[in-house]
Amino acid sequence: QINSNASLTVSLAQTPYCKKHRYDPQNPLCAHIIFCGSIVKVNDSEADLAKKALFSRHPEMESWPKDHNWFFAKFNITNIWVLDYFGGLKIVTPEEYYSVKP
Radius of gyration of the chain (CA): 18
Give the E-state strand segments of 42-86 in sequence order: 73-83
Number of domains in the chain: 1
| Domain boundaries, position 76 | 5-99
Q: What is the pLDDT of residues 33-59, one digit of tens each?
A: 999 999 999 999 999 999 999 999 999
Confidence of residue 21 (pLDDT cuts 50, 70, 90): very high
Indicate if the pLDDT at residue 83 is higher than 80: yes
- Here the CATH number for the domain that contains residue 65 is 2.30.110.10
Indicate if the pLDDT at residue 69 is higher than 90: no
Confidence of residue 5 (pLDDT cuts 50, 70, 90): very high
| DSSP code per residue over 16-52 | SHHHHTT--TTSTTS-EEEEEEEEEE--HHHHHHHHH
